[in-house]
Structure 1
Amino acid sequence: MPWTEMLQFSSRRSPIVCTRGCTASSQPLATNAGLDILKKGGNAADAAVAMAAVLNLTEPFSTGIGGDCNCLFYHGPTKKVYGLNGSGRSPQLLTLDLLKKEGFVETNPLPLSHANLVTVPGAAAGWCDTVHLFGSKKLSLGEILQPAIELAERGFPVSEITAFHWNREANILQRPGNQHGKDLLLQGQSPKSGQIFKNPLLAQTFKELAQSGKRGFYEGRIAKAIVETIQRNGGVMSLGDLKEHTSTEVAPIFTDYKSLRIWELPPNGQGITALMVLNMLENFNIKEMDHNSADYVHLLAEAVKLSFADSFQFCADPARVLVPVEELLAKNYSKQRSELINMQRANSKSIHGNPSGAGGDTVYFTAVDAEGSACSFINSNSTNFGTGLVPEGCGFALQNRGAHFSLNPEHPNCLVPGKRPYHTIIPGLATSPVTGELLCSFGVMGGFMQPQGHVQVLLNMLEFGMNPQEALDAPRFCLEYEKSGGTWKLSLEEGISEPAAQRLIARGHNVHWPVRGHERSLFGRGQIITKGTWWESQHALIAEDDQEVLWAGSDPRSDGCAIGY
């Protein structure tokens, strides 16, 4: 196998250190666009939206305006944390009965390219609302989108890892009947690394959004193109579904783990999964365990299983069903769940608890500005290129987020019209529970890897003293629930030792080891910006002499970088 296919990990990076502002994403052009916005007087929220737009252009298989977004915003002057749910809802005409008539039920779900998996794309409204609610008010939406518009018209050279994944997923754009999939290809093929790719249609879409705001996307030409494409391919979304879409400002949820207060968005997002894991881990002495040892991976994996069992059962749209968030996050409930962990044997079941008795490809990116505010932002098509359906004249693909609905009518997350599905994309923040100071803005993308990634990189810093770059560099594990067999698969990245893998097998884990090369994408791609060096053992909180210094890292599993000034 050629070395380029193996994707060797033989270099190292130092963490970025700066004082006035910092951005981090999976694409250098996006990171740079965000920093430029900061230098022009924009704040972290403005910079995040600029990065979101550039990432739509440079990494279209992962993200775009045809998908959803979510964000957490930390306001430096007031030390308050805000949340925005930018996910879309199911069409009003889409029902379980309709799908059943077409032969689709829980045991025979829709294929990932089916047009009825397109929920209303929430990203456009999410970008507009992020700027409106949290932005500096010094830059217009047009100025924020301008870097992406210029790059789309001028073209950009495609980076190495991006080219690999673009090629791997290009078949969904090339399939018969996908009339405009070619708009995201070069002469019918995916672009190679170093080739210039232009997307003037996407530039026009961004211009219309800049000129007319949300109406420029959810009404008029773009909306008609979206609906026409979906209906031509057997979907039922209407112009009314698009016109009625709104983002939702939400109160973030949190838990305290030692000297950190970790913030996530509430359901329908799965951020609560990470918080439940951390609550369980409080009942164990992590520091006694070697990093990525068999004991350590086993403990985290078992806690992840128990947390997913609960979130798979209870996490749904709180506007449509009652989600017991407070009960799931109760420390006594987590203590009860942690007592189910057998340190000598893997749990093969996925059984949710009873909290009432207790007392899914993506891009993640972040920015911190000179005011001390931070924006933790995530944007996604769901799976690669989503459905692969590209509306005429628009330059982006439509998501397939509806795949995360249950088709079981008794399940809290079952499909009903106008409902948000269980959502995998989760931004993260950490603050001091004592002072309210920002400690870090962070995230790890990658479907159900995301809460697992949040926990692993946080523990890398807090329990093992790693700086942000080291925390992202360290090998990770990923648990996947194989629904067909009702079993858990534990994948271990190259760098976790063979003896550890063998001990995990002996405890009953279904281990896949080592995962290397491009397959490392399984473990997500993260970004971290921290304030101060709180991860060092002598710094329980931010010390006065380093509180103005930002430290940042960017995941080596992507093409991206962190930069600051």
Structure 2
Amino acid sequence: MFRSAPALLAACLAVAAAPASAADRVTGAAFATRSEVLARHGMVATSHPLATQVGLDVLKRGGTAVDAAIAANAALGLMEPTGNGIGGDLFAIVWDAKTKKLHGYNGSGRSPKALTLQWFKDNGHTKIPPYGPLPVSTPGAVDGWFALHGRFGKLPMKDLLAPTITYAREGFPVTELIAYYWDRSVPRLKAYPGFLEQFTRDGRAPAKGEIWTNTNLASTLEAIAKGGRDAFYKGRIARTIGDYMKASGGFLSYEDLATHQGEWIEPVSVNYRGYDVWELPPNGQGIAALQMLNILEGYDLKSYGFGSPEHVHLFVEAKKLAFEDRAKYYADPAFAQAPVAQLLSKDYATERRKLISMDKAITQVDPGEFKTQGDTIYMTTADRWGNMVSLIQSNYRGMGSGMAPTGLGFILQDRGEMFVLKDGHANTYAPGKRPFHTIIPGFVTKGGEPWLSFGVMGGDTQPQGHAAIVVNLVDFGMNLQEAGDAPRIQHDGSTSPEGQAVPMTDGGTIELETGFDYATVRALMRKGHRVRFADGSFGGYQAIARDPASKVYIGASEGRKDGQAAGY
């Protein structure tokens, strides 16, 4: 029987508004695209199946969670250059089962010492360009590997890098989503020296299923495996980078590389309904997720239900308040000390909560006032001893600056774009300064025991995604896979470049994935929100949880990426 046009339209709208689901699953929750992965002895979850297998093989050979994380991260730098590589930075949170303690590592690099704010002003720059030599900052990933390995590693570094070296020489098939982003990057980056020669075939990106090799990267990793961190920061590699940047009109020098040092830092936390949620303090944006959770704790989200107008409205309003503080205070603590304790206090959350109306969207809000002194990959691993690693690594803007040093097989990051060229701002450009950073690893403990290692990729999405995952698990009772697969809320507060920490001026726009009911959209618009549907900008998610009773690991890797969780 044929339906009338109005009836057919209504039916189509009903289907479009229904919860997203991979299929008619016999078991599992509505949003889950697959079952959780369960294993007793170890687990790896990354955004590429082959990288996951590399990490899992390390665990099976007796490696620690840190060993597996390094091996998998090296593989991702080869296999997913659209999101990371050894030209970028690294942050990590490590749960040490022996001491029952969390350790944080900030592996972000600093700006070139020879480049000044005055140079930008003298040359007519009002903002740092996104590509080319000027946004390049010192890459911190390799130093991060060796710092993590020195404290928590077990297997030799040469064994951890060997699988990626083999893949780089023999080749691997490029996966679907990576091929898509690679193809989009070529037109933007092809003008920069070394990119076409090292990251295209006859001027084009590799297609899905095409075998890709990178012998230059293989040689670079072999040098690192043999010579350690100094082979990258003080040897031939560093001199090649310095010479290349000078010849290209850049400022990153051999001295910048030779003097680089990451640092161990203390993670910070808030308690959300009995769960301690941990992030790293600035220069990253992790505490924005904690500020959001502090505000949201004052509302009974469970009673409203996932996807309700109240849920989305309160989530977005909490984000607006947290991100205004982010725009003002988050920066390199060596140059501007953020008032972290005050920002994370429950009293401050109570005061900020008073700015939220249930009936009307916030269009403009000031940050709190304090007296002060001053594309990405995410992966997680867990081993047989109970150690867990939450690690995130990135070049920024997908493949980074486009600057590919001669013969080295990787692209330098463009994190320097995150600085502002404005006197007196916490994140104002200065020589030897770490930029505001978007990449953040997350961790949750309960009763002093590890409960969840997790992360979400993608610029401003990350703190919003961290808060959403915790809310989905704690308030809405989702399982680990469903919590990541559930449709996401993303609020874009300005028209600035992606990830820039700037104030909101006009209320911004809510982007909703398919799966939210149209009644919710209409209710949000009545409150004064601008709403649009979008796809492709909601990041990626991996997670490993640990059941405190059975000690079984639970792994999840969402369907927005090419990734996989696997255990043994």
TM-score by length of 2: 0.91
Secondary structure (helix, strand or coil) at the match of 1:47 reads helix
Alignment partner, residue 241 of structure 1: 256
Amino acid at match of 1:456: A
CA distance in 2, matches of 1:427, 1:179: 31
Contact 1:424 1:450 in 2 (8 A): yes
User: Within the alignment, does 1:499 sit opposite 2:519 as a pair?
Assistant: yes
Contact 2:168 2:217 in 1 (8 A): yes
Amino acid at match of 2:523: R
Amino acid at match of 2:50: L
Q: How does 1:362-381 map to 2 (within 5 A)?
A: 362-381=376-395
Alignment partner, residue 425 of structure 1: 439
Q: 2:96 aligns with which of 75, 91, 99?
A: 75
Alignment partner, residue 556 of structure 1: 559
Contact 1:276 1:307 in 2 (8 A): yes
User: Within the alignment, does 1:133 sit opposite 2:151 as a pair?
Assistant: yes
Query: Cα deviation per residue 1:440-472 (whole Å; 9 max; x = unaligned)?
Result: 100001011100000111111111111111111
Alignment partner, residue 180 of structure 2: 164
Amino acid at match of 2:468: Q
Structure 2: which 5+ runs fail to align? 1-19, 24-32, 497-503
Q: 2:245 aligns with which of 230, 236, 255?
A: 230
CA distance in 2, matches of 1:68, 1:549: 32
Secondary structure (helix, strand or coil) at the match of 1:409 reads coil
Query: Cα deviation per residue 1:500-533 (whole Å; 9 max; x = unaligned)?
Result: 11211221112112x2xxx32x11101011011x
Alignment partner, residue 159 of structure 2: 143
CA distance in 1, matches of 2:134, 2:166: 33
User: Within the alignment, does 1:174 sit opposite 2:203 as a pair?
Assistant: no
Contact 2:94 2:104 in 1 (8 A): yes
Q: CA deviation at 1:233?
A: 2.7
| Identity level (%) | 42
CA distance in 2, matches of 1:233, 1:502: 52
User: Within the alignment, does 1:96 sit opposite 2:117 as a pair?
Assistant: yes
Q: CA deviation at 1:146?
A: 1.0
User: Within the alignment, does 1:414 sit opposite 2:414 as a pair?
Assistant: no
Alignment partner, residue 505 of structure 2: 486
Contact 2:427 2:436 in 1 (8 A): yes
Alignment partner, residue 14 of structure 1: 35
Q: How does 1:152-551 map to 2 (within 5 A)?
A: 152-175=168-191, 177-356=192-371, 361-432=375-446, 434=447, 436-483=448-495, 486-487=505-506, 488-513=508-533, 515=534, 519-520=535-536, 522-532=537-547, 542=548, 544=549, 546=550, 548-551=551-554
RMSD across aligned C-alpha pairs, in angstroms? Answer: 1.4
CA distance in 2, matches of 1:524, 1:443: 10
CA distance in 2, matches of 1:377, 1:127: 11
CA distance in 1, matches of 2:365, 2:205: 40
CA distance in 2, matches of 1:489, 1:111: 25
Query: Cα deviation per residue 1:336-358 (whole Å; 9 max; x = unaligned)?
Result: 0111111111111142111449x
User: Within the alignment, does 1:29 sit opposite 2:50 as a pair?
Assistant: yes
- Greater CA deviation, 318-327 or 239-248? 318-327
Amino acid at match of 1:121: P
Contact 1:124 1:217 in 2 (8 A): yes
Query: Cα deviation per residue 1:206-250 (whole Å; 9 max; x = unaligned)?
Result: 111111111111122211222233223322121111100001010
CA distance in 2, matches of 1:131, 1:277: 33
Alignment partner, residue 63 of structure 1: 84
Contact 1:181 1:389 in 2 (8 A): no
Alignment partner, residue 3 of structure 1: none
The size of the alignment, in residue pairs, is 530
- Greater CA deviation, 272-281 or 226-235? 226-235
Secondary structure (helix, strand or coil) at the match of 1:117 reads coil
Alignment partner, residue 538 of structure 1: none
Secondary structure (helix, strand or coil) at the match of 2:332 reads coil
User: Within the alignment, does 1:117 sit opposite 2:120 as a pair?
Assistant: no
CA distance in 2, matches of 1:397, 1:15: 35
CA distance in 1, matches of 2:371, 2:478: 38
